[in-house]
Amino acid sequence: MPTLADQGFHMPAEWEPHRGTWLSWPHKEASWPGKFAGVSAIFARMVRLLADREEVHINVAGPDMEAQVRSLLTDEGADTGNVFFHYHPTNDAWCRDHGPLFVRRKMDGAVEEAILDWGYNAWGGKYPPYDLDDVIPTRIAEELGIPVYHPDMILEGGSIDVNGRGTLLTTEACLLNPNRNPRLGREEIEARLRAYLGVRTILWLGDGIAGDDTDGHVDDLTRFVDPTTVVTVVEDDPADENYAALQENLERLRGMRDQDGRPLTIETLPMPRPLHHEGQRLPASYANFYIANGLVLLPTYDPGRDEEAKATLARLFPGRDVVGIDCTDLVWGLGAFHCVTQQWPSNAREGLTVPGFPNS
């Protein structure tokens, strides 16, 4: 039978125009012991910034949680007229990994969309239960009347990044880890990625950063910022435990080619200085930014290096506001802005323009 790719579906790049952003509101205090109140405040500020530019869709357990969240958003001054609540209970807040992954195709001048429901097992079964999170994409698809497809493979959204033109970035440490798909080899995994995401070229990096409990998600390492350019984090201190892995990934990138056989343009971001909490190294990375309509949300951790990261992204995203928010509380849960968001690509007519969207 023809695959979704055969039918013309593909996953758009994150910088392409959005209809909105999906979130799962945080409620599991055990994910941020001693930091939970600060995390709710970070989410509220994030929603305020996003809602000025696109819809924000929030998964909550029910009307009581909705009322609590609305109160927080009102206190923050968010445009709640552009915020939509959905009664889909979750186990945790990491919507990048358990949320709906949208693909689309152009047919007869219109844009059709579909949702992919990849399997989800909380990063190799590390944090049970995860049954509520695992069904979120299908629940959303049913609510919205959007077709849903099940690729029969464990995959988190943070483990992949695409340029929207046929190339996908991922890591061996995560996708080839036997705690995800022990019965699938590299070729079988690549075949599923091509069939469902409409990509042709798959680029493999190696290991992730220290403290990352996802086994090496690419969204803490390297991100596409336009169809031919990636930005990747580097560590300048040879004594730091991230130095060797990040240097190896940089060397791999230098030898990689996109779907058209062109070398990648490579830009670099610094790593913040090591951040610890209760003796644990946290996966703080400037690569965990989120691209929205006219906006880049940058997690900040280190005043000495935050401005360098912000300046780099401002240069790479002309026309978008790069806004930094202190995420030292959020990353105690072992993730930042990209980990808690999932984009909903626009299905508007051809020719839609959004400030900061590269129309190349």
Active-site residues, by number, are 339
Task: Name residues whose C-beta falls within 8 Å of residue 41's C-beta, 6 or more positions apart in sequence.
Answer: 72, 76
CA 329 to chain centre: 19
CA dihedral 142→143→147→152, nearest 10 degrees, is -50
- Sign of the CA dihedral with 134 first, then 139, 144, and 148 last: positive
User: How distant, in Å, are the alpha carbons of 13, 295, 338, 353 from that of 319?
Assistant: 17, 8, 20, 12
| Beta strand pairing call for 295-300 and 321-326 | parallel
- Sign of the CA dihedral with 68 first, then 37, 132, and 56 last: positive
Inter-residue contact 312 to 267 (CB < 8 Å): yes
